[in-house]
Each structure stands twice: as structure tokens, then as C-alpha cells.
Amino acid sequence: MSTTIGVIGSGQMGGGIAQVAAVSGSSVIVYDAFPGAIEKCKGVHKKSLGKFVEKGKMTQADADAALARVRYVSTLEELKGSNWVIEAIVEDAKVKKDLFAKLAAMFPADDVVLATNTSSISITEIATAAGTSAHRVVGMHFFNPVPLMQLVEVIPGLQTSKDVVERTVALATKMGKTPLKANDRAGFISNRVLMPMINEAFYAWMEGVAEPEAIDGIMKLGCNFPMGPLRLADFIGLDTCVHIMNVLAEGLNNDRYRACPLLKQLVTAGRLGDKSGRGVFEYPAK
Ligand code: NAI
């Protein structure tokens, strides 16, 4: 049976997931609750695929065929016919749980996988909201920007069936990604290891160990990081970094994961990183 992937949320992540799925040959139905977002997503797809063609990484015919496989819709009901769903809406546990309760009812067939791209919320908690469908809920954690980043972290919840995990690994591979498994603990692997490192960079800055440029320069030149931890924090969003540290502190029950006071203070001042034009560094063009 051919795969029709229903993507919910057409923002940075959902849009990217839809694009990669279409390029890999799947039919895609992408839905967003906000009509403006769907229009924007269409434009982003055209532009992004155009860049691949320009760089000689894809033919115009393949780009056109990928675009023709995507249907953009503005109601949840229009996702019917999908045999795989990937959710990439706002990172809010209540909103996601309400959605998964609806999805379980809307897709009663036992072979429809209900995947979430959450970066921090417990898969077990989201799966519980799907009731008797909990075994077909799985974490499918893509990275930003999706068309370029290689990894998909595959996270089974406590209830997820082995078959669903195997099928998720297979789909991620078909999408041209490298799937790696992590268990359902706060932050999974990526954020559990990355975020405390970023947080520590803020502590080092706060304590006057070095200035931001030097902290980032040392980590780039000395550890071969493509981007320093403070620059990366600006890219992710300082508010998101605080949110993830809070999830780690609570989920792992340990104060050592508390967000650095300086990081929290920058968020209070509205310095959120690239998206607000200033975080640790300044981005006047944004
Ligand atoms: P975004 O804000 O760019 O996109 C979210 C989209 O979902 C928006 O277009 C919004 O209109 C739509 N939306 C919100 N509530 C909805 C609902 N109830 N029904 C339908 N559509 C709804 O956010 P982004 O960055 O794409 O994040 C989406 C998810 O992916 C979040 O769970 C986030 O934690 C996760 N994630 C984000 C990464 C990142 O670097 N931005 C990386 C990996 C995961």
C-alpha cells in the first residue's frame, strides 16, 4: 500500500517534514489551523525546492512532481485517507493531548501510526491521551531545517508497540534520514545532552569566565562545533531553551538542570534570539 502522510501543523517543522516526505515519493496532506500558515507553507516549499534545483541537487521535473504530491488543506477532516499522521503543532501538552484523542477516533484503523514531532513532551503522556490507540503513538523527532538535517530521533512511549517502532524506523529511512532510537525520558537524547551544555555556556558568561565571542570561538575551534553554543541558543530561541531546561529539571527531578539566571533574564527582557532580532548577539536584519 502506498503511504499517504498527513502532516498537522505547517510551520518550520511541519512544512519541512511535508516537503521531505513528498520528495521521498509519499503523497502528503498538510493541514494547519491557520489559513495564513498554509499559504506561507506553499511558498516555502516552492522556494526551498527551487534552491535544490538551482544547486543541481534535484531536477525541475522531480521538484514539480514532489509539489504535485502535496495537498494543502484547512480542516482536520480533510486528512482522512492518510495512513500515517505526523503532528508538528505548538509545543503545548494540553493542545497536543486533545489532538491525539481526536486523531485516535478519526483514524480507528489499527495500522495507522500517529507520530508526534514534540521536542520535549513525554511520548507516554501524549499516547495516554489516545486511549486504546496508545500502542500506535510514537515520537518522530526531526531536526531543523528538516530538508537538510540527517537525524530522526525515534522515541517509543511506554505503550508503543515494537511493530510501530520498526515501521517508524523504516519510514524515516525511506525519507532519506538516519533514524536513531532513544527512550522516553525528558529531553530524549538530543536535548538532554545539548541543553545542559548550552546552559553551562550561559553560566560561564554570567560568571565572567569569558565573553560570548570567546566562549563560542573556543567551542568552535577547540571542539570542532559548526556553531558555538550561544549562537545556537539564539537560533533555537532563548525562550525555548528555558522551556526545555524546565522540562529536564522537572522530568529528571534534579535541580542541576535549572535554567541559568542570565538566560532567564534575557528572555524576560524580550531578547529571544534570531526571532526577536537580539539574544546573546544582535541580528539587525531580523
Ligand atoms: P511553528 O510555530 O513554526 O509551527 C507550528 C504550526 O502549527 C503553526 O503553523 C500553527 O499555525 C500550527 N498550529 C498550532 N496549533 C495548531 C492546532 N491545534 N492544529 C493545527 N495547527 C496548529 O513551530 P515549529 O517550530 O514548527 O514546531 C512544531 C513542533 O515541532 C513543536 O512541537 C516543536 O517543539 C517541535 N520541534 C521544533 C523544532 C525547532 O527547531 N523549531 C525542532 C524539533 C521539534
Question: What Rg do the C-alpha atoms of the chain give, in angstroms?
Answer: 20
Q: How far is the CA of 32 from the centre of ligand 1 (A)?
A: 10
The rounded distance, in Å, linking the Cα atoms of 83 and 165 is: 15
* Residue spans per domain, the chain: 4-181, 192-275
Q: Which CATH number fits domain 192-275: 3.40.50.150, 1.10.1040.10, 3.40.640.10, 2.30.38.10?
A: 1.10.1040.10
| Mean pLDDT (whole number) for 261-273 | 98
Do residues 12 and 35 lie in contact, with contact meaning Cβ atoms separated by under 8 Å? no
Sheet holding 178-181, edge to edge: 70-73, 27-31, 4-8, 84-87, 113-116, 137-142, 151-156, 178-181
Residues 6 or more apart whose CB falls under 8 angstroms from that of 253 comprise: none
Indicate the pLDDT class of residue 173, thresholds 50, 70 and 90: very high
The confidence score (pLDDT) of residue 2 equals 82
Higher pLDDT, 99 or 2: 99
Q: What is the reported pLDDT for 284?
A: 87
How far is 101 from 29, CA to CA, in rounded Å?
20
Find the 204 Cα to ligand 1 centroid distance in Å.
Answer: 31
The answer to whether domain 4-181 and domain 192-275 are alike in fold is no
Q: Is 276 a catalytic residue?
A: no
Q: How far apart are CA 256 and CA 61, in angstroms?
A: 52
Atom of ligand 1 nearest to the CA of 116: 32
Query: What is the residue with the minimal CA distance to atom 8 of ligand 1?
Result: 11
Which whole number is the average pLDDT over 91-110? 96
Query: Is pTM beyond 0.85 here?
Result: yes
Indicate the residue type of 237. G
Per-residue pLDDT band for 286 (boundaries 50, 70, 90) equals: low
The partner residues of 263 in beta bridges, in order of sequence, read: none
Task: Give alpha helix (H) positions in 69-189.
Answer: 93-106, 123-129, 162-174
pLDDT of residue 35: 86
- We find that the CATH architecture of domain 4-181 is 3-Layer(aba) Sandwich (3.40)
Atom of ligand 1 nearest to the CA of 37: 9
Could you give the CA distance from residue 94 to residue 173 in angstroms, rounded to a whole number? 30
Q: Please, which residues bridge with residue 209 across strands?
A: none
Per-residue pLDDT band at 71 (split at 50, 70, 90): very high
What are the pLDDT digits (tens) for 1-29? 689 999 999 999 999 999 999 999 999 99
Look over the chain and give the mean of its residue pLDDT values, rounded to a whole number: 96
Average pLDDT over residues 70-94: 96
Residue 119 known to be catalytic: yes
pLDDT digits (tens, 9 = 90+) for 187-231: 999 999 999 999 999 999 999 999 999 999 999 999 999 999 999
- Residue closest by Cα to atom 4 of ligand 1: 11
- Position 230 scores a pLDDT of 98
Residue nearest to atom 42 of ligand 1 (CA): 143
Q: Is 166 a catalytic residue?
A: no
Q: For 121-171, what is each residue's pLDDT tens digit?
A: 999 999 999 999 999 999 999 999 999 999 999 999 999 999 999 999 999
